[in-house]
Amino acid sequence: MDQEIQKPKLVINSLYKIFGKRPKAALSLLEMGRSKEEILEKTGQTVGLQAIDLEILEGEIFVIMGLSGSGKSTLLRCLNRLIPPTSGKILLDGIDIASLDEAALREIRRKKLGMVFQNFALLPHRSVVENVAFGLEVQEIPESERLEKARQTLEMVGLSGYEESMPDQLSGGMKQRVGLARALASDPDILLMDEAFSALDPIIRAGMQDELLDLQNALNKTIVFVTHDLDEALKLGNRIALMKDGRIIQVGTPEEILTAPADAYVAQFVAGVDMTRVLTAEGVMKPPEPTVWIESGPRVALKLMEEHGISSIFAVGKGKTLKGLIVVEDAVKAAKEKKSLAEILITGTPVAAPDTPVRDLIGTVATSQYPVAVVDACNRLRGVIIRGSLLGALAISGAPDEEEST
Ligand SMILES: Nc1ncnc2c1ncn2[C@@H]1O[C@H](COP(=O)(O)OP(=O)(O)OP(=O)(O)O)[C@@H](O)[C@H]1O
C-alpha cells in the first residue's frame, strides 16, 4: 500500500459481545481472566467478542480473518448493528453506531453502509435490476432514477444485458455480482462483505477477487471483508486482523503478518504460505544508502564505496531521482582520466516498482550482475535489492523461530 496518510473511517473501542441473557456475569468473569470455555460452562453465556480495539482506515480493504467461531461475522455484524454489541463504541466518521436510535441507525445503514452476504440473499421473485434497485426503493428514490442507477451499477460489475433475468437463471458468480451491485447502488462509503466469495468455485472466486480489486481501484471505498481463507485475506487485504476466541490477535499488512507473526498461533496459521507470492520489492529492499550525487566526482564515489565495502553505487539527482549506477572499476579509471560521473554512468540496470511481487523479481535478481533499484512512479530511488538480501528475507520469513512455533 502507498505510504500516504489515511484517516480512520471506523474506530472501534473496547467492543464486547456476549450472547445470552446474563452478559454481566460473563463480563465480570472475563475481567477475572476466565476463558471463553469456562464462561460458557459456568454461565451458559457465549463470548462473541472481547476487548476489540481497531481503526479501519478510509479507502482500505480491511480483512477480518480467523477460523470458524473466532468471531469474524459477529464483529462485522456489529458494525452495522445487525448484532447489537453488549458494550463498547463503534465510531463511523465520529458517530457512535452502538448508541444510535433506530431511525438514525436506518439512515446510516442506507447512506453509508452496504453489505454483501455469502448466500447472496437476493429476492427470488424480482428481476436482477429490481434486486439492485431495491435498496434505493427503500430510500424512496423515484422509480426511473433508481432503475437507471441500478443499470449503471450492473454495468460496473459486468452484468449489462442481464437486467431482466431472474436470480435463479444466474450462476453463483453472477448472483454475487448482483449482490455486490445491490450493495454499491446507493454508493455507500463502507462495504461490509461476509465470506462474500466463499460459496463460489475456486476459479470464479479468484475472478471475483480480481474484480473486487479493480472495482476498489476505481471506487476507493472502505471495505471490511470477512474470510476464513488465508490466501484470500493475503490477496485482498491492505491490512488483516487475525481473530481467535473473539479477540484480535494481530493486525497488520500481509507482509507484517507473514514476516513478524505476533505469536505461535499466527505463525502456525501462516506456515506454508508461498512467500514469493506475497512479499513485495518494498518488503525485501534495503535502504538506498549510500548513494552518490551525480554532480560530484569519481573520487567521492570511490570513497563512499570503500567506506561501505561495496563495488557499485547508485547515482542520484535532485529529489533522489535515479540517474544510473557507478561501478568501482569505472570510477577508478575515471578518477585517473579526470572524467565525470555522468561519463561512466551505467543506465538501464534493472528497476522495480515498490509493489512488484518478489516472485516476479527472483529471475532478475538471480541473473543480473547489478543490484535492482526500487523506484517509485516519479523515478525516486526508494531502495535497493541485492541477491543476498532477497534470499535472506525469504529465509527469515519462511522459517519462524523454533521457540515461537512451539
Ligand atoms: N446468535 C448467537 N447466539 C449464541 N452464540 C452465538 C450466536 N452467534 C454467534 N455465536 C457464537 O459466537 C462465537 C463467534 O461466532 P461467529 O459466527 O462470529 O464466528 P465466525 O468466526 O464468523 O465463524 P464462522 O466462520 O463459522 O461463521 C461463536 O462461539 C458462536 O458460536
pLDDT, tens only, 327-348: 999 999 999 999 999 999 999 9
pLDDT at 63: 98
Q: State residue 1's pLDDT score.
A: 45
Q: Is the CB of 72 under 6 A from ligand 1?
A: yes
If you measure from the C-alpha of residue 73 to the centroid of ligand 1, how many angstroms do you get, rounded to a whole number? 7
Specify whether the CB–CB gap between 379 and 264 falls below 8 A: no
* pLDDT number for residue 397: 52
CA 195 to ligand 1: nearest atom: 25
Q: Among 249, 273, 297, give the residue marking a domain's end.
A: 273
Q: Is residue 50 part of a domain?
A: no
Give the residue, by CA position, lying nearest to ligand 1 atom 2.
19
Is residue 305 domain-shared with residue 171, that is, in the same domain? no
pTM (2 decimals)? 0.80
Which residue, among 244, 247, 198, has the nearest Cα to 49 in the 3D structure?
247
Burial class from Cβ neighbours inside 10 Å (0-12, 13-18, 19+) for residue 306 reads exposed
DSSP one-letter code for 246: T
Domain-terminating residue out of 254, 273, 292: 273
Determine if residue 307 is left, alpha or beta; phi over 0 gives left, psi from -120 to 50 gives alpha, anything else beta: alpha
> Is 70 a pocket residue for ligand 1 (Cβ < 6 Å)?
yes
Give Cβ neighbours of residue 35 (< 8 Å, ≥ 6 apart).
Answer: 245
- Tell whether 4 is covered by a domain: no
Claim to verify: residue 325 and residue 382 sit in the same structural domain: yes
Q: For residue 15, which of 251, 249, 248, 190 has the smallest C-alpha distance?
A: 248
Is residue 164 located within the same domain as residue 308?
Answer: no
Whether ligand 1 lies within 6 angstroms of the CB of 73 is answered as yes
Same domain, 63 and 180: yes
Do 387 and 314 share a domain, yes or no?
A: yes
Residue 400 domain-assigned (yes or no): no
> Are 158 and 211 in a shared domain?
yes
46 Cα nearest atom in ligand 1: 5
Tell me which residue of 152, 213, 160 sits closest to 184, measured CA to CA: 152
Amino acid 5: pLDDT: 64
Q: Given the C-alpha cell 481467535, which residue does it identify? A: 244
Q: How many domains does the chain have?
A: 2
Asked, for residue 291, whether it belongs to a domain, the answer is yes
Low-confidence ranges of the chain (pLDDT < 50): 1-3, 398-406
Predicted ipTM > 0.90 = yes
**Residue 186 belongs to some domain of the structure:** yes
Say if residue 312 is in the same domain as residue 375.
Answer: yes
Identify the pLDDT of residue 406: 31
- Residue nearest atom 18 of ligand 1, based on CA coordinates: 71
Are residues 370 and 265 part of one domain?
Answer: no
Residues 300 and 211 in one domain: no
Domain that holds residue 234: 58-82+100-273
Do 192 and 224 form a contact (C-beta atoms < 8 A)? yes
Are residue 122 and residue 248 in the same domain, yes or no?
yes
* Nearest-CA residue for atom 12 of ligand 1: 48
Mutate to test the pocket of ligand 1, among 37, 39, 74 (most ligand atoms within 8 A of CB): 74
Helix (H, G, I), strand (E, B) or coil at 382: strand
Handedness of CA 321, 322, 327, 330 (dihedral sign): negative
**Does residue 77 line the site of ligand 1, with CB under 6 A?**
no
Both 119 and 227 in a single domain? yes
Nearest CA to ligand 1 atom 3: 19
Q: Are 400 and 267 in contact (CB under 8 A)?
A: yes
DSSP-assigned letters across all residues of 63-132? EEEESTTSSHHHHHHHHTTSS--SEEEEEETTEEGGG--HHHHHHHHHHHEEEE-TT----TTS-HHHHH
> Is 292 within a domain?
yes
Is 399 domain-assigned? Answer: no
For residue 377, what is the domain's CATH number? 3.10.580.10
Q: Using alpha carbons, list the distances in angstroms from residue 162 to 48, 89, 122, 129, 284.
A: 40, 42, 15, 8, 46
Q: Are residues 199 and 65 in the same domain?
A: yes
Domain harbouring 105, CATH code: 3.40.50.300
Question: Ligand 1: does its nearest atom lie under 6 Å from the Cβ of 68?
Answer: yes
H/E run at residue 252:
strand 247-252
Residue 401: inside a domain: no
Query: Which of 238, 273, 308 represents a domain boundary (last residue)?
Result: 273
